[in-house]
Every structure is written in structure tokens, then in C-alpha cells.
């Protein structure tokens, strides 16, 4: 879940975006002024307006440098060069053509506005106001100076005043929003952290329930089914190892990724689960692509192995047969394992919540890693359980 930019980064990012937006608008205005003068020059070849075009080109170059590297030096250079170019542009226009006779003429105002859209440096709204204010004063000052030399009538320019006011309103609103977000985002991050902790707790509970059934209940059933006298050495060793695992906390952690071991069938967790079932007296026949399980990551391969182990235990306890078959197959997106027995079967529709092995050790365990389980069983005709989990490549792609 994304919560946007961190609180300490957001002011810098927003300030940078505002400056870039102001520079884009300034570039559009300078381009408009250039097009206006160029068209006027084409329609009136007798006028000498090329100095105004040169002034606009130099102004645009200063804007490009200021936008490419936002710093104190480039910002001040933009204001100084822009003010000089505005003066040059106004004097040339007033001397060559009649452009309205006042300092609030459209052709002059758009260039003045470009100077106000300086952007500047600094992350606060106050800095934006200050730079825009300096640009406004320079724009009006050099225009008045040019008017005194060319005879233009000095009048109040509402366009530049409105531009400055809009900058105040927009940048002020952004500043207020950042101030509010500054206090809201820590709460959002805490909520995201709590949600993540709850998710991890749920995963731990799922693992704990499955592990409890895999160890305690299965071992009690094995002990109850054993003959009188000391337990077989294999069963004692298995119980001791599982209890050590249960007492420790390694089962809470995701399995380490050991690709070299996963590629070797004899070292896989699924092979170990089959060996444990064979120690309980079950004959297990394995077929299919034995290397397919290597396409899943360690966490999902382990979940499949433990779920298959429970399926084999269910065959021993409930199926009434001593033979089971495991078929392994896979694709680029999915790895599937099917456990088949020809035992007494059961009615899937009437299976209750008390079937902890099927519910916790198989279905919930596989679903917790993004997989699925399908069960087909008919009384008197055996049971087939299909487990499928996504491959590591599929998980990475999603």
C-alpha cells in the first residue's frame, strides 16, 4: 500500500514541481511574445523589430538555464537578464510601432508576467512569494524606466497584479495542504504498520495451527496406533525432531532459499515428507516432473511439502490402504502436486470443520502462500487432492 512521498521529502518535491510549472508557463508566454513580434515584423518589413526578437531569445535562454539548474545563481541571473531583456524589448517596441501607448499593453504584459514566474529557490511558500514579488517589482520598474524614455503612458497593469495574486493563492493553498499532511501522514503510516503486523500475526497463527496438527495430533494418533511396548526407533526419532522444531521458533520464519538443494529431489522437503510417510508403513509412488517444484520459491515449496505430508498421514489414518501415488507437474506460472489414493474415500460436501488436518494443514496452509486446493473424493472409490502454488517467477511478476 502506497502512502505517497515521505513527510520529509514532500516539501522538496512539491516546491520543485511548482517551480517547473511556473517555468513552463513563462516559456509559453515568451514563445507567444516571440510569435507576435515575428508576425508583426513579417507584416511590416519596414519596421526594425529584430532587437526585440533577440531580447526574447536571450530571455528564453536565461529561463532554460534557470530551469535546468535551480539555484540561487541561476535564479538571480534569470531576474537580471530577464529585466534587461524586458527593457530592451519595451524600448524597441515603443520606438518602432504603436503598441497601445501604455505600459499595460498586452504585448508588454505577457513578457512582464514571464519575469514574475521566476519560481526561485527554497521549499517554503514564503520563498515563492518573495521571488515572485521581486520579479513583479523588477518588471514594473524597468517598464516604467522604458516608458520615461519612449513616451509611453505609465498605468497600473492589472495583468501582472492578478498573476502575483494567483501565485499567492495557489502556493498558499499548497503550503496549507502540506502542513495538514505533515500531521496526517504519521497516523497513516502507523495504520499501515498495524495492518502489516496484523497480516504477519495471521500468517503466524496459520503456521502455528498447521504445525500443531502436524506434530501433536498426528503423533498422538501414531502412538495410539502403535503396538504395546516401546515405540519404534523411527517413530521416536521423528517425534523428537518435530517437538524440537515446535519448541523452537524457526518455523515462524520463511524458509531460506536454497536453490541448489531444491533442484535436487533427494534433498527437497517433499522427498523428506514422503520418507516420513514410508516410515509409517505407507508405500508411496512418485511420478511426473520431479524438478517442477524447484520453480516455486522456498516458502511455497515448504508449504506444499508439509501439506502433502498431511495428505499422506490422512491416507494412513483414514483411507484403509497402504499405497498412495504422488504426481508432480508444473508450468511457467504454476506448480501442482496431486496426492491420490484408492481408499475408502469420503463425502466432501459433508466434511465438517472438525477435519483439522484437511482444513489447517492442507487448505489454509496452501491458501496462505497464494495457492489453492481441490479435493475429489467418493465413498468407496478413493480420494484425490490437488495442490497448486504460483512459481517464483509468477510471484515476482505480480
Q: Is the pLDDT of residue 65 over 70?
A: yes
Does residue 2 surpass a pLDDT of 50?
no
| CA 13/CA 397 separation, integer angstroms | 29
CA distance 360 to 216: 14
Global confidence as pTM: 0.47
Q: Can you tell me the distance from the alpha carbon of 292 to that of 288, in angstroms, rounded to the nearest whole number?
A: 9
Residues carrying CATH 3.30.565.10, the chain: 258-397
- Report the SS3 class of residue 86: helix
Closest CA to 24 of 60, 48, 77, 71: 60
CATH of domain 258-397: 3.30.565.10
Residue 111: per-residue pLDDT = 93
User: Residue 59: what are its φ and ψ, rounded to 5°?
Assistant: -60, -45
Q: How far apart are CA 74 and CA 62, in angstroms?
A: 8
State the virtual CA torsion across 86, 91, 94, 97 in degrees, nearest 10: -90
Tell me how far apart the alpha carbons of residues 98 and 81 are, in angstroms, rounded to a whole number. 25
Q: Given a cut of 70, is residue 323 above it in pLDDT?
A: yes
Cα distance between residue 163 and residue 139, in whole Å: 12
Count, residues in the chain = 398
Highest mean pLDDT out of 133-142, 151-160, 205-214, 305-314: 133-142
Give the Å distances, CA to CA, from 181 to 178, 196, 221, 339, 345.
5, 22, 58, 54, 60
**With 70 as the cut, is the pLDDT of residue 313 above it?**
yes
At residue 78 the predicted structure's pLDDT band, cuts being 50, 70 and 90, is: very high
Cα distance between residue 285 and residue 303, in whole Å: 20
Grid coordinates standing for 177?
495542504
Q: Provide the pLDDT for residue 202.
A: 66
Q: Which has more confidence, 75 or 97?
A: 75
Amino acid at each position: 500500500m502506497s502512502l505517497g512521498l515521505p513527510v520529509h521529502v514532500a516539501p522538496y518535491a512539491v516546491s520543485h514541481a511548482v517551480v517547473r510549472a511556473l517555468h513552463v508557463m513563462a516559456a509559453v508566454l515568451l514563445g507567444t511574445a516571440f510569435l507576435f513580434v515575428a508576425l508583426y515584423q513579417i507584416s511590416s518589413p519596414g519596421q526594425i523589430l529584430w532587437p526585440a526578437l533577440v531580447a526574447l531569445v536571450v530571455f528564453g535562454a536565461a529561463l532554460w538555464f534557470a530551469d535546468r539548474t535551480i539555484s540561487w545563481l541561476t535564479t538571480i541571473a534569470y531576474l537580471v537578464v530577464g529585466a534587461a531583456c524586458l527593457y530592451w524589448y519595451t524600448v524597441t517596441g515603443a520606438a518602432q510601432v504603436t503598441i497601445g501607448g501604455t505600459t499595460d499593453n498586452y504585448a508588454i504584459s505577457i513578457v512582464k508576467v514571464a519575469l514574475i514566474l521566476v519560481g526561485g529557490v527554497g521549499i517554503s511558500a514564503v520563498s515563492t512569494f518573495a521571488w515572485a514579488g521581486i520579479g513583479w517589482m523588477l518588471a514594473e520598474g524597468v517598464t516604467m524606466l522604458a516608458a520615461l524614455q519612449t513616451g509611453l503612458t505609465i498605468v497600473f497593469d492589472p495583468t501582472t497584479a492578478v498573476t502575483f495574486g494567483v501565485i499567492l493563492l495557489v502556493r498558499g493553498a499548497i503550503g496549507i495542504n502540506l502542513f495538514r499532511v505533515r500531521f496526517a501522514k504519521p497516523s497513516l503510516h502507523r495504520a499501515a504498520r498495524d495492518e502489516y503486523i496484523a497480516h504477519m500475526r495471521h500468517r503466524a497463527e496459520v503456521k502455528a495451527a498447521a504445525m500443531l496438527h502436524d506434530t501433536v495430533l498426528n503423533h498422538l494418533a501414531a502412538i495410539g496406533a502403535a503396538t504395546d511396548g516401546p515405540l519404534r526407533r523411527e517413530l521416536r526419532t521423528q517425534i523428537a525432531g518435530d517437538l524440537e522444531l515446535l519448541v523452537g521458533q524457526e518455523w515462524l520464519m520463511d524458509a531460506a532459499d536454497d536453490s541448489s538443494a531444491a533442484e535436487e529431489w533427494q534433498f527437497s522437503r517433499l522427498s523428506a515428507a514422503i520418507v516420513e510417510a514410508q516410515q509409517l508403513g505407507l508405500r508411496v509412488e512418485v511420478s511426473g516432473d520431479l524438478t517442477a517444484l524447484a520453480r516455486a520459491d522456498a516458502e511455497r515449496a515448504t508449504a506444499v511439502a508439509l501439506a502433502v505430508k498431511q495428505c499422506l498421514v490422512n491416507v494412513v489414518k483414514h483411507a484403509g490402504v497402504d499405497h498412495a501415488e504422488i504426481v508432480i507437474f508444473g508450468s511457467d506460472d504454476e506448480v501442482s502436486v496431486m496426492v491420490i489414493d484408492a481408499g475408502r474415500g469420503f463425502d466432501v460436501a459433508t466434511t465438517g470443520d472438525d477435519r483439522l488436518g484437511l482444513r489447517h494443514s492442507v487448505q489454509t496452509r496452501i491458501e496462505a502462500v497464494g495457492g489453492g486446493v481441490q479435493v475429489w473424493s467418493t465413498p468407496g472409490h478413493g480420494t484425490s487432492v490437488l495442490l497448486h502454488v504460483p512459481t517464483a517467477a509468477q510471484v515476482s511478476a505480480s
